Amino acid sequence: MKIEKLTDIDGLLRKHEDYRSRCLNLIASENYASDKVRSYLSGDFSNRYGCYVGMDLDDREYTGNKYINEFEKATQELVKEVFGGKYADLRPIGGHMAGMSVVLALLEPGDLVIEVHLKDWGHGLVGPMCELRQFDETINVEYMKFDENGAVDTKALQKMAAELKPKLIVFGGSGTLFPEPIKELKEIADRENILLAYDASHVTGLIASGVFPNPLEEGVDVMFGSTHKSFPGPQGGFVVSDNKELMEKIGNALSPSLVTSHHLNRLPAFAASLLEIKSFGKAYGEQVVRNSMALAKAMAKEGFKVKGAARGYTESHLILVNVGGFVDEAPGKLLEKAGILCSDDFSGSAPEVRIGTPESTRRGMKEEDMQAIAQFFKRVLIDKEDPESVLKDVETFALKFPDYEYAFK
């Protein structure tokens, strides 16, 4: 297709929206932002620069920032109210950039960091950075171990911390089923001067809703994350901490080396989503977790091996399902043909699919609907039905939920 006129743009966007309305979106890193939140992305902020260095928002590089400055300060206060922390930085334009700013700010050449490996559904922060020669020669990385339930092996991590004495431990990943053992590591961290960071990108919505432990309250030195996964905001990132010295280092790492223009148009949309989570967060977060648990039980009943069975499967917005023995190809592509969107991973010891419930929850689905979703997976992966025939039923099911909940209308 060629884009030659505005109607070409409009037509393709309509096709996308119609297509997505007929899909069952179970991608754990996506969510549905309300029309009200989306409406704030198109303001005049989208063409303005609000650059500053360090932590001084008043020291702007460009003029004309009188109300931009006021708005960014007010949004920082909202972030601190919702997520905690005495200091906040909203310049990262994504959770990955937020994580890079923390790593680059807090590590010296030769330092060791412990994080979650990609094969254990890590976010791929330090490991992939070290694929670049510059970082590989200056940063050392080791990886946490996980138990059979998909939870961090606390004793193994305590032993690693005591013996290896890393400069930084980064908790959190893209397959977080259960809260991490922050409190259990805090004593060792304090004794060995180890900094604790938490990549909250996937669970920001649950933390803000009060249904998942707040890492800052449990003892981490800094928390960072994205605003568009379990949190139903626009794409973007943030960093929060109670430690001013650390935040000054992070601010200096962010600008101007990583970002100058930090996409100001997302701030009004982010502020609106923060107000939404303040108004509807508790009910939303609780339903997300109930849907995850219900889906896990339904998948297990249909014959799938769902991770975390001994611990109740999950306490978050996602479940991990072993599909070994059912498929020889990447299941994500096969499921997509049936209108089912989710993530897959073949890098570990067994192929898994990651199934998330944030968007389905926002669209109004409840526990009883998770039974139908589990049956769709069974029909495609176990019963080997033609995905095209399953697609028709998925579309009929998805179109029953044309609206969204837990949001401003």
The string of pLDDT tens digits covering residues 213-229 is 999 999 999 999 999 99
The count of structural domains within the chain is 2
pLDDT of res. 185: 97
Residue 281, pLDDT score: 98
pTM: 0.96
Asked whether residue 133 is domain-assigned, the answer is yes
pLDDT at 13: 97
- Residue-range definition of the domain harbouring residue 302: 280-398
pLDDT at 133: 86
Confirm whether 146 is domain-assigned.
yes
Query: Quick check: is 5 in a domain?
Result: no
> CB atoms < 10 A from the CB of 141, how many?
22
Q: What's the pLDDT score for residue 1?
A: 83
Quote the pLDDT of residue 329: 75
Q: How far is CA 111 from CA 67, 97, 104, 168, 308, in A?
A: 41, 20, 11, 8, 33
**Are 111 and 167 found together in one domain?**
yes
**Residue that is last in its domain, among 273, 308, 332:** 273
What is the rounded distance in angstroms from the CA atom of residue 5 to the CA atom of residue 387?
35
pLDDT at 354: 97
176 and 291 inside one domain: no
Q: What angle do CA 396, 400, 405 make, to 5 degrees?
A: 145
Q: What is the pLDDT of residue 97?
A: 96
Please indicate, yes or no, if residue 156 is contained in any of the structural domains: yes
What is the structure's pLDDT at 135? 86
Instruction: Indicate whether 13 belongs to any domain.
Output: no
Dihedral sign for Cα 20, 95, 273, 72, please: negative
pLDDT reported for residue 349: 63
- Whether 263 and 293 map to the same domain: the answer is no
Residue 371, domain CATH: 3.90.1150.10
First-to-final CA distance of the chain:
35
What lies within 8 Å, CB to CB, of 238 at 6+ separation is 79, 83, 88, 89, 90, 92, 98, 224, 225, 227
Ranges of the chain with pLDDT below 50 = none
Shared domain for 225 and 149, answered yes or no, is yes
Domain assignment present for 10: no
Strands 222-226 and 237-241, how do they pair? antiparallel
> 300 and 250, same structural domain?
no
Q: Assign residue 162 the CATH number of its domain.
A: 3.40.640.10
Same domain, 143 and 252: yes
Q: In the listed set 273, 298, 315, which residue is the last one of a domain according to the structure?
A: 273
Give the whole-angstrom CA distance, residue 198 versus residue 371.
Answer: 33
Other CB atoms closer than 10 Å to residue 252's CB: what's the count?
16
In a domain, 25, yes or no: no
On whether both 267 and 313 belong to a single domain, the answer is: no
Residues 255 and 289 placed together within one structural domain of the fold:
no
pLDDT at 230: 98
* Residue 356 host element (H or E): strand 352-356
